[in-house]
Amino acid sequence: MTATPGSLAAGVIVYCVGMFLFTILTGYGFAAFPIMTAAICWPVLVQEFHGTPAIVVAIGVLAGFCGTLCTPMAANFNLVPAALLEMKNKYGVITAQVGTAIPLLAVNTALMYFLAFH
């Protein structure tokens, strides 16, 4: 079976968005990293599409950290500051960070697609 450029784009999107969403669920990028890397990154992006491992996994972790900006599970980063600042909305920190996290996820996805594959 021949790999097509469209399936490469789909693989990159699935890995980056998967890291993002799984990090939201677990609360930390390093919790999502081994699972998403074993399931998608290594077999699909590195072995099938011959991506440069260092670039793929480094940008993958950065995509996961975009999820850390959007989750209440990362209480030390997102809920404790709201409590210490006595904010009316306890999710105010997350609300402020989503505007950065989503575009940064898109940039990380594009960087992986254009830099990691020859």
pLDDT given for residue 61 in this prediction: 95
* pLDDT given at position 2: 58
The average pLDDT across 13-21 equals: 97
| pTM: predicted TM-score of the whole model, two decimal places | 0.90
Closest residue by Cα to residue 44 from 81, 17, 7: 7
pLDDT tens digits for range 72-112: 888 888 888 888 889 899 899 999 999 999 999 999 999 99
pLDDT of residue 75: 81
Instruction: Name, in order, each residue with C-beta under 8 angstroms of 56's C-beta and a sequence gap of 6 or more.
Output: 15, 41, 45, 46, 112, 116
Average confidence score pLDDT of the chain:
91
The answer to whether 13 touches 106, Cβ cutoff 8 Å, is no
pLDDT score recorded for residue 74: 82
Q: pLDDT class for 3, splitting at 50, 70, 90?
A: low
